[in-house]
Amino acid sequence: MPPAGTGGSKKLASRHITMITLGGIIGASLFVGSGNVIRNVGPAALVSYLIGGILVFLAMRMLGEMAAARPTTGSFMEYARVGLGDWAAYFVGWLYWYFWVGVIAFEAVVSGSILHGWVPAVPEWVFSIAMMLIFTITNLVSVRSFGEVEFWLASIKVVAIVVFLGVGVLFALGFWPGGSFSLPNLWEHGGFAPNGVWPVIAGVAIVIFSYFGTEIAVMAAAEAEDPAKGVRQATTTVIWRILLFFVGAVFLIVVVVPWNELPDPQVEGPFVHVFTLYGIPAAGAIMSAVTLTAVCSVLNSGLYSAARMFAALADKGYAPAIVAKRSRNGVPIAAVIASTLGGYAAVIVNFAAPESGIFDFIMNSAGLVALFVYAFIALTQIRMRQRMTKEEVAGLELKMWLHPWLGILVIAAVVAIVVIMVVSGEGTRTQVWTSLVSVAVLAVFWPAVRKRLARVRADRATAERAE
């Protein structure tokens, strides 16, 4: 059933779901961050992206099995509640919301930096606050306005990737001006894995976060005109999106440019560098604009995700009831505003007191949320399938393969990635410990929330008996 309160109009159309599905995971982590992975791993970064993509695909398939049978906003939080209990829903819901509040602030800061580079006379913080306001309004108007803005922002990203891939194939085969057959770049500069196998495995821990956001399409599908169709569309196409946009793009970068000649992404992003080699006029300016649209897209969809999860938390009693209130168009207004307040606060702290380290703590402490979510999805799907009858399993529109072994594989992979993050270096180790601090804070408040839930449910049961 559609989520309560979403309203009967202004829902997302099929084209919105299609473009959110296509462009939802394309962000600055691909346009810029892929350069760091390639410089550390070499051409074998392909394997890192492929392994990470497979894990995400399996998690999405499990989420799709649950969502196709029961589309709902809050998606995996609600499934965690049904499958594992209130404690699981409480932790995964709040962690997910916290993650996106941090991302909202981060993307606002990045967009401010890009715009400041275009108009140096205006301070970065002014642009950051302005971008926050624009997308706050976009999300407050209606879910349809969110979908429309995301449709066009995602379209720009998708077009840029398609052009990059199309020209790149011609360039790598020598059919583009200035190009030559360059496939040997995969192995000629120190080998396919010049730094050994370990960096390839450690690279998975980095790229896994590039894919986070794929689940937004499943959440949005719950507010679509045809939720079941939207869920099938979002989950069944994720693998080729990963292979085409991420693995395909990284493949062309390491083929066109020797991995050890790729510039520092802080100086020049890999896409800018390759577009320049293609001979595309004003490649830097074009990719700067594309990166800005990618950042805005993540800001827009991140605010949508944070607000829907916050409202879902309130619906189930894990957050104040006022947060669950929706407008006639189905927009959780209080949840949208509350989610942006955290973003505004983080942006202000970053510019007013950058030396305080608070902004860095927020970003680091949200670092493991993607892995937590994937582990909860796997655990929940395994538990919910165990409770089904043979007839119910046979009637599933989407079904996870090799149950429960692939789910167990995802959980084992999550544990392995966390271990890798602990032993890899100070940066990833900090993410682990600060993320655990966030979990510990939630654990402190859980007893009070549990008591409140018990009281509310007891009052509700008493009222029902009185009727």
The mean pLDDT value for 247-265 works out to 92
Tell me what pLDDT residue 2 has. Answer: 40
pLDDT of the residue at 72 = 67
Q: Which pLDDT score is estimated for 3? A: 43
Closest C-alpha among 287, 283, 25, 305 to residue 154: 25
Query: Could you tell me the pLDDT band of residue 456, with boundaries at 50, 70 and 90?
Result: confident
Instruction: Note if the pTM is more than 0.85.
Output: yes
- Percentage, residues of the chain above pLDDT 90: 33
Residue 24 confidence (pLDDT): 62
306: pLDDT strictly greater than 70: yes
Q: Is residue 333 over pLDDT 80? A: yes
Higher pLDDT, 242 or 411: 411
Q: What is the mean pLDDT of residues 14-25?
A: 70
| Number of residues assigned to the chain | 467
d(CA 318, CA 335): 13
The mean pLDDT value for 53-63 works out to 89
Q: For the segment 340-394, what is each residue's pLDDT rounded down to a tens digit?
A: 887 788 788 878 877 766 667 776 777 688 888 899 999 999 999 998 888 888 8
Please spell the DSSP secondary structure of 252-295, one letter per residue.
HHHHHS-GGGPPPTTTS-HHHHHHHHHT-TTHHHHHHHHHHHHH
Helices 75-83 and 283-315: angle between axes, nearest 10 degrees: 40
Is the pLDDT at 56 greater than 50, yes or no?
yes
Domains in the chain: boundaries:
14-459
Look at the domain 14-459 and name its fold: Amino acid/polyamine transporter I (1.20.1740)
313 has pLDDT over 80: yes
Q: What per-residue confidence (pLDDT) applies to 210?
A: 80
Q: What is the mean pLDDT of residues 437-441?
A: 90
* Least confident residue range of 63-72, 266-275, 414-423: 63-72
